[in-house]
Amino acid sequence: MKKHEFRTEPLPTPSMPSGVVHLVVNEGAERFSYYGMRSILVVFMTGMLLNTQGSLDPMGEAEAKSYFHLFASGVYFFPFLGAILADAFWGKYKTIILLSLVYCGGHVVLALDHTRFGLLVGLTLIAIGSGGIKPCVSANLGDQFGVVNGHLLTKAFAWFYFAINVGAFGSVMLTPWLLEHFGPGLAFGVPGILMFVATIIFWSGRAHYAHIPPDRSGVFQALSRPQTWRGIGKLAGIYVFVAFFWSLYDQTSSAWVLQAQHMDRVWMGVEWLPSQIQAVNPVLIMVFIPLFTYVVYPVLNRMVRLTSLRKMAMGFFLAVGAFLISAYIEQQIESGMEPAIAWQLLAFVVITAAEVMVSITCLEFSYTQAPLKLKSLLMGLFLLSVSLGNGFTAFVNYWIQNSDGTVALTGPDYYWFFAGIMFLVACLFLLVMKGYEEKAYLQGTRPG
C-alpha cells in the first residue's frame, strides 16, 4: 500500500463516517468465527479429543478449564503485539489484514487435526491472529471520528458491540449443533469460513477508511513524556480491577457449560445442548444495550452523576451476584437434584448486565483516555486485563488439581471462592476510583 494512497485523517463531517458499516459488519462476522469455535472447545476437549493413533483421549474437567483459560489469556495477551505493529510499524489496516490471515490458518488446523497437537497449534495461531487484531479493530473504529462528529462515537461503539453479539448469538446456536450432529471437522470449519468472509469485508471497505499512518517517532515521543506514563499508570491501575471481572465472566464458556451438563436443560419445550445455553448472553446484550443507554443510565444519572468508573463499580458487584447464583445451582446439583436451567439463565441475566456496565464502558473509556499516538497500545493494555483475568482462572484450575486426580476446590466452594475474590476487588475499587481524573483525547485535538 502506498504511503498516501488513502485518507490519513477523518473527514470533517457531522455525520456517521461511511467506513463504519464495513467495520461493524466485519466485526460481526469475525466474532461469529471466534465465539463459534470457543463455544465448543470445552465439550470438544472433554469428549472428542483424539490421540495420535486416532483413539479418544479426552481431558478431565479441571484440565480442560485450565487449557481453555490459558488460550483465552493468550488471545488477550497478543493485542500488545498487534498494538506495537499497528502504532509503530505497519498501521492498523495492514496489521488487521495480515494477522487475519494467520487467524484463518488457525481455524483450518482445528478443522483438520483433532489431536492435542492440532489443538495447540490451531489455538496458538488463533490467539496470535485474533489477539493481534483486537486493539487495531476497535481503535480503527475510533480513528474514523474527529472533533466534529466525536459525539457519535458512543453510538458507533454501541453498534460495534451490537454486531459482536449478533455474530456471537448465531455462532453459539449453530456451532454446538454442528458438533453434535456432524463432528468437529465441520463445527470448526464453519467458523473458519466466516473468518475468511470477515477479512474480505474489511478489505472491501479500505477506500472508506481514514488510515492513520504508523508513527514510530511519535510513539516514542509520546512515551518519553512523564505525563504519558502517569496516564498509562493510572489506566493500568484501573485494568487490574477489570481483570478480576473477566476472570469470572469468561467462565460462562467453561465452568458454566460443564455445570449445564448436570441441569434440566428443557426450556420452552426444547432440550438445549450445554454449549447453547450461553447463546442467551448475546440476546440479552442486544436487549440491554438500548435499555441501559436510553432507560437505566438516564434514571441512575438523575440520582448520582454516572461516570465511567461508577458504571464499572456497579458491574463488579453484579458479577458477584451472578456467581452466588452459580454457587446455589452447584449446591442443588451436589445434593442430587437436577435444577432447572432457568437458574443459570437468571445468572446470565445478572452477568450480562455486569458486562454492559463494565465491558462497553471500558471499551470506549480505553479509547478516549489514550493519548493520540497510543490508541492501539492503550487498547492493548485494556485487553491485557482480559488476559490477566483468564490467566488467574487458569492458574486456579491448575492449582486445585491433586496428583491423585482429585480436585481441591469442588462444587459450590469453587463459585464461592471467585465470588468472594470479586467482592473484595469491588470494594477496593470504590476507594481507588476516587483518585482518577478522566481526560478525553480524540483525533483532531491537540495532543496533551
In a domain, 270, yes or no: yes
- 77 has a pLDDT exceeding 70: yes
pLDDT band at residue 1 using 50, 70 and 90 as cut-offs:
very low
How many whole angstroms separate alpha carbon 116 and alpha carbon 184? 13
In a domain, 354, yes or no: yes
What pLDDT, on a 0 to 100 scale, did the predictor assign at position 370? 65
How many whole angstroms separate alpha carbon 428 and alpha carbon 426? 5
Closest CA to 331 of 413, 412, 418: 412
**129 or 410: which carries more pLDDT confidence?**
129
The model's pTM is 0.81
Mean pLDDT within 136-147: 85
Q: What is the pLDDT of residues 161-220, one digit of tens each?
A: 788 889 999 999 999 999 999 999 999 999 999 999 999 999 998 888 888 888 777 667
What pLDDT, on a 0 to 100 scale, did the predictor assign at position 371? 66
What pLDDT, on a 0 to 100 scale, did the predictor assign at position 13? 81
Query: For the chain, what is the largest distance between any 2 Cα atoms, rounded to a whole number of angstroms?
Result: 67
- 5 has a pLDDT exceeding 90: no
Which residues are paired to 407 by β-bridges? 401
Q: 77 Cβ partners below 8 Å, 6+ apart?
A: 127, 131, 384, 387
In a domain, 419, yes or no: yes
Mean pLDDT within 299-320: 94
Mean pLDDT within 354-378: 78
In a domain, 391, yes or no: yes
Q: State how far the alpha carbon of 109 is from the alpha carbons of 75, 97, 116, 180, in Å.
A: 17, 19, 11, 20
What pLDDT, on a 0 to 100 scale, did the predictor assign at position 440? 54
- 362 has a pLDDT exceeding 90: no
How many whole angstroms separate alpha carbon 137 and alpha carbon 92? 8
Domain containing 279 equals 20-205+215-435
- The three-state DSSP-derived secondary structure of the chain is CCCCCCCCCCCCCCCCCCCHHHHHHHHHHHHHHHHHHHHCHHHHHHHCCECCCCCECCCCHHHHHHHHHHHHHHHCCCHHHHHHHHHHHHCHHHHHHHHHHHHHHHHHHHHHCCEHHHHHHHHHHHHHHHHHHHHHHHHHHHHCCCCCCHHHHHHHHHHHHHHHHHHHHHHHHHHHHHHHHHCHHHHHHHHHHHHHHHHHHHHHCHHHCCCCCCCHHHHHHHHCCHHHHHHHHHHHHHHHHHHHHHHHHHHHHCHHHHHHCCCECEECCEECCHHHHHHHHHHHHHHHHHHHHHHHHHHHHHHCCCCHHHHHHHHHHHHHHHHHHHHHHHHHHHCCCCCECHHHHHHHHHHHHHHHHHHHHHHHHHHHHCCHHHHHHHHHHHHHHHHHHHHHHHHHHHHCECCCCCECCCHHHHHHHHHHHHHHHHHHHHHHHHHCCCCCCCCCCCCC
- 437 has a pLDDT exceeding 70: no
What pLDDT, on a 0 to 100 scale, did the predictor assign at position 441? 55
- 226 has a pLDDT exceeding 80: no
Instruction: Cell 469475525: give the residue.
Output: 30
Grid cell in block for residue 209: 477508511
Q: Is 15 exposed, middle or buried (0-12, 13-18, 19+ CB in 10 A)?
A: exposed
In a domain, 443, yes or no: no
Q: What is the CATH number of the domain that holds 353?
A: 1.20.1250.20
Mean pLDDT within 349-354: 98
pLDDT band at residue 18 using 50, 70 and 90 as cut-offs:
confident
- 448 has a pLDDT exceeding 50: no
In a domain, 445, yes or no: no
Mean pLDDT within 258-285: 92
Closest CA to 244 of 432, 364, 386: 386
What pLDDT, on a 0 to 100 scale, did the predictor assign at position 8? 76
In a domain, 277, yes or no: yes
> What's the number of domains the chain is made of?
1
In a domain, 224, yes or no: yes
